[in-house]
Amino acid sequence: MHKKAPHYSTLQKFYKRMPTIMFEKITKQLIENLNIKLQIMALDGSGFISDYADKYYLKI
């Protein structure tokens, strides 16, 4: 079976070593490329998956 995403700890270890400024540049570029308009963004690295999105978090 082919996995579609790397194990969460792989990304966690990578981001831990990455300088903050690089993470900020990558995030900014991603937001610009996807033409996303937002004021606040939150990242979740818990590994939990839910198809339910609370209305509180949908407000952008």
Q: Does residue 30 fall inside a structural domain?
A: yes
Amino acid present at 26: I
Identify whether 57 is part of a domain.
Answer: no
Whether residue 28 lies inside any domain: the answer is yes
Length of the chain: 60
- Dump pLDDT digits (tens) for 6-59: 787 887 888 788 898 998 898 889 888 988 887 777 777 676 666 666 666 665
Quote the number of domains for the chain.
Answer: 1
Q: How many Cβ atoms sit within 10 Å of the Cβ of residue 15?
A: 14
Let me know: does 7 contact 47? Beta carbons within 8 Å: no
In a domain? residue 51: no
Structure tokens at 20: 């903050």
Q: Is this prediction's pTM over 0.85?
A: no
Range of the domain at 5: 1-43
Sign for the CA dihedral angle at 50, 53, 54, 58 comes to: positive
